[in-house]
Amino acid sequence: MRMTDTSDLWWKTAVVYCLDVETFMDWNDDGIGDLAGLAHRMDYLAELGVTCLWLMPFYPTPDRDDGYDITDFYGVDPRLGHHGDLVEILRTANDRGMRVIVDLVVNHTSDKHPWFKSARSSVDSPYRDFYVWVDEPPKNEAETVFPGVEDSVWELDEKTGQYFLHRFYKHQPDLNVENPLVRDEIAKVMGFWLELGIHGFRVDAVPFLLEPTEATGDGGYGDPHDYLKTLRSFLGRRTGDGILLGEVNLPRAEQIEYFGGDNADELTMQFDFVAMQKFYLSLARSDARPFAEALSARPDIARQSQWANFVRNHDELTLDKLTESERQEVFDAFAPEEHMRVFDRGIVRRLPTMLDGDPRRIRMVYSMLFASPGTPVLFYGEEIGMGENLEIPGRQSVRTPMQWTSDANGGFSRARASRLAAPVVEDGFSPEHVNVADQRHDPDSLLQFMRLLIRTYRNSVEIGWGDFSVLEQPNDAVLVHSVSGAQGRMIAVHNFSSAPAVVTFTVPDAGPSTRLIELLQSGELALSEKGEVELSLGAYDYRWLRIADDSTKRLY
């Protein structure tokens, strides 16, 4: 697949925004967000600076797992609209310079999917081998994804007397991806949405998709990664610049395989779960070193590949890659009560509530997100500092309606509260206190700050393309790092502590005309003859600094 022109690699400098249509904007006032509502908010996303819109599942579903239990991979849930509405979204996005990606959830289906309904009706069903069946579960069966909710990954189907595999919920039977007919169907699903104008897919739970089961072995189909290469090749043939953004929550040594090495012929992008978890450990300790070490330890990847950085996503804030003692530190700091945790590994709160609403600390976190090497991914509502509703159980607590105004239901819908897709937040982070309308007119709001960050990030393409290095300085609470490449050079400074700090560092390859230009505010910093800079930082302070000299020809 040809990938030589940097204009093809739009994802290297993208701003990805994830939303659930069901909770974003309700246009017909039935209590459920819809595609028409999203269409009327596309200008808001464009003004924010979003360049890639990621739509969570909008397919027909019984909605027992927030749409990830799908009954028709080719359809649109009629509660949300129809294909014509989606095409209008794609047209509107393209007009505003935005690409759209959608969730590809092909690990499993709903147990209400016609394939499974047929498969369980008879052992002779043509769809029987679309799923994984055994007479008896293996003795050493795999662990369930949801400990405490499911106690096995095998469920007895009483009609046929066999067990079916479900690594997730029992109402989500796993597809047998080793079956060539299933693979053909997955290619057809991808091809269908690409023909409508989708620019790629966020691929759900990739390791489970590729994992051979004890019941089937490898099915004679060889290395599962060859199948991932096949999907990437198919995407390349159908669209020259489409992406596969993969959810691969594995240790780095295993995760790196999913990029496809130097050939970059598997996943285009992967979420960096390791760095995210170390970031929260740094926040809990007021010590930048765990996060700095995680970034420094990233394996080298091909030019066409990219890490996706995030602070929060739609699932629980998983801490499974931390040690037990480290995880407990983060729990103690940000989820001290048991109902704030789930699955013994994750937190069900959003960032602002975890940080007690401290605007200094919240802004430092997002400054760090956008300054980190890679591509930033936002979850809807982060740009205004939305909280969660802990009255909603589990990971659903962060999937509350978008807060547009201070009106009833946060301006999300004029339906009765009892009819809403999810209850709104009702504490100090309720729409009365946190909403788009108020922040659009407040120059000091988080929304305006996020717009500034996004503009500055988009003008600092070296963040997505350049080489990362930590600059030495003596304060453990402060991270000073540089990113540099052919596109330019910059330095970012972040204080993870409430204590003010004075740091001194040396600018790499500084010459007589080198100067540091502030990017998030006006001003310049002076360098000593040795290229050193002394910088005073307040509590949770942050700075972005362009390294410039007499030959620099760019706007700051």
For residue 333 the two structure tokens come to 């700091």
Pick from 202, 200, 185, 17: nearest CA to 115: 185
Per-residue model confidence (pLDDT) at position 69: 97
Per-residue model confidence (pLDDT) at position 259: 97
**Cβ atoms of residues 262 and 300 within 8 Å:** no
Model confidence over 82-102: pLDDT tens digits?
999 999 999 999 999 999 999
- Report the pLDDT averaged over residues 233-248: 96
Per-residue model confidence (pLDDT) at position 181: 97
Helices (H) then strands (E): counts for the chain = 16, 22
Please say if 204 is a catalytic residue: yes
Catalytic, out of 178, 204, 266, 316: 204
Please say if 195 is a catalytic residue: no
Catalytic, out of 77, 174, 178, 247: 247
Average predicted confidence (pLDDT) for the chain: 95
What distance in Å separates the CA atoms of residue 406 and residue 412, rounded to the nearest whole number? 10
Please name each of the domains of the chain with its CATH number.
6-107+178-458 (3.20.20.80), 114-165 (3.90.400.10), 465-548 (2.60.40.1180)
Report in angstroms the alpha-carbon separations of 376 from 212, 251, 299, 360, 477.
32, 20, 18, 20, 23
Q: At 309, which amino acid appears?
A: N
DSSP state of 85: H
Q: Which pTM does this prediction carry?
A: 0.96
Model confidence over 29-47: pLDDT tens digits?
999 999 999 999 999 999 9
Q: In what order do the strands lie in the sheet with 162-165?
A: 133-134, 162-165, 154-157
What distance in Å separates the CA atoms of residue 61 and residue 26, rounded to the nearest whole number? 18
Per-residue model confidence (pLDDT) at position 140: 85
Per-residue model confidence (pLDDT) at position 416: 98
Examine the pLDDT at 271 and tell me if it is beyond 90. yes
**Cβ atoms of residues 526 and 504 within 8 Å:** no
For residue 418 the two structure tokens come to 């009892």
